[in-house]
Structure 1
């Protein structure tokens, strides 16, 4: 299987409702799909979404990266897989989402060449997973209504977006907690919206009321490493790092400092599957569990995350891969079952999604 062409397409999809966090407001999905074509007609599919507020990438920068890398890959055989992966990561720094999309396409091709689903190639066996659902930041009554609707749809774990106003955040969390059955788990995500002292103040207030979320995700700025440690040393609620961890070095520093309880692995941050697998292994060496998460993206990249979750099911114990469920529709073709809270991988070779 020799690579003969690389080209891109835009995947557009409507959302069921706007996606709102302390960092951004999104009304529709627009992703970059990368397609690698081989001389035998086999196609490898990858995908990434520009999220400039988090990764610094735009659609233009992602396309520019692919244009730069393309001549270095065309003509190579998929048998040179390790060399190709190294090329992706050494030709430029940063560009983590674009690198991830290209990696996913290469992993898709490699698994197809071996005639196995990607999760099997990576050593995984689990095919069925349960994800949470994101409750976008809004007025309290609307967030309660969205939470009730999610429970009706079968979700037992909700990720509550907060972080724009400490007083309103406390009101939202308490109201949602009081409105739901106690078997419904809450995850809190402030998306860098608070200071360390504000985080401790709010979490102490919740804890005094007996409200201890499954975790609080990235309450402080991504570069506020000391802030994370300050919070962890003062609250009962487990602390999960998201935007603070892109690289293995980022993770190693936080793990050495004992500044966090959990790590959120996202392919768009780790620059693809290769580093995501290594990050899971690093976390395991410190006895720290992981969550696999996603940006607001389509079924190709979300499916790739599920395959990684299968490969590292012993350490990736939390799933936050709800992006496909947030879409009203999408044009991709797949036998993977995205059934609200339940995601079931297919036996199709590779990632299992076409576009």
Structure 2
């Protein structure tokens, strides 16, 4: 079997409401799709959005990386899975989202070659339903409380609350939601917006609240601040932008700079990178979140298969993009039941 042909194109899906964090505002999910064709009739898909604020990539750079660096090491080559994965990883430095698109397409072909669904290829016997957190975008405290209450009424009881407004109101935002919705599990995500002092002030102001975790409170490079916060926080600290790959995970966990690691396929270059981080976390006895950017259905599906294959390793799942689309695509390869996905 060889990879005989490929297509690269874009897709987009409008969001029901704008998605706002400390880093960006998004109105539509836009993504690059990679389509691989083999000489024996298999077709596989990979996909990646552009999240320049995190990975440094644009739609144009993802397309260029695929077209000029990654496809030349795949097209016409015998399908030796590990060899091709290595070729993608080493095709160019960085560009983790472009590599993720190629990685998930290769995993799809490997599973098809063995006539297995991807979750079984990854080691699961049956697909496990996956429950996701749902995002409350950054806004005024009252507006965020209203949105959170609406989500809870719709059955979404795990809420990722975006903070980092740089206006001194973050503790007020979270308290407004926590006190109004005592039955909701709250995950607080600052997206690197605070410094050490601001982080500790927030923790002190919210120490009486039952928060499930605080995600990436300080800039990714400031591991010493992240370590001090982890040491002093009554809430688990989740490292996100500080961990792109397995080496980052070793460094963060070795310093005691986080209690949990957020794995995103777009940061780590796909499923192979995610599995490598899981191995590091297993050694350290640390669980993970399986997160995502604002993504299209192809890459969310790949992540769902990973979550279904390793349910014991993911304390939290944050794959809520489909719940934020204005309309669910009719051809989704999974079903949506509230905030649960079933493959």
| TM-score for both structures, normalised by structure 2 | 0.97
Aligned to 1:167, the other structure's residue is in SS state coil
1:336 to 315, 334, 337: 334
Shift of 1:330: 5.3
**Match for residue 218 of structure 2?**
220
CA contact (8 A) 2:9 2:33 kept: yes
Taking the aligned partners of 2:147 and 2:40, their CA distance within structure 1 comes to: 48
**Match for residue 65 of structure 2?**
65
**Match for residue 350 of structure 1?**
none
Taking the aligned partners of 1:330 and 1:184, their CA distance within structure 2 comes to: 25
Taking the aligned partners of 1:77 and 1:213, their CA distance within structure 2 comes to: 50
Structure 2 counterparts to residues 1-355 of structure 1, below 5 A = 1-68=1-68, 69-78=70-79, 80-124=80-124, 125-165=126-166, 167-180=168-181, 182-207=182-207, 210-329=208-327, 331=329, 333-345=331-343
- 1:161–1:109: structure 2 CA closer, same or farther, 3 Å change rule? same
CA contact (8 A) 1:277 1:312 kept: no
Could you list the runs of 5+ residues in structure 2 that have no partner in the other structure? none
Shift of 1:127: 2.2
**Match for residue 352 of structure 1?**
none
Shift of 1:311: 2.1
Number of aligned residues:
341
Taking the aligned partners of 1:65 and 1:275, their CA distance within structure 2 comes to: 18
Shift of 1:331: 4.8
Shift of 1:250: 0.8
Aligned to 1:86, the other structure's residue is in SS state helix
| TM-score for both structures, normalised by structure 1 | 0.93
Taking the aligned partners of 1:274 and 1:9, their CA distance within structure 2 comes to: 24
Taking the aligned partners of 1:215 and 1:280, their CA distance within structure 2 comes to: 19
- Higher mean C-alpha displacement, 53-62 vs 65-74: 65-74
Coordinate RMSD, CA, aligned: 1.2
Task: Please give the per-residue CA displacement for 1:236-255, whole angstroms capped at 9, x wherever unaligned.
Answer: 01100000000111110111
Shift of 1:275: 1.1
Runs of 4+ in 1 over 2 A off after TM superposition: 329-335
CA contact (8 A) 2:73 2:91 kept: no
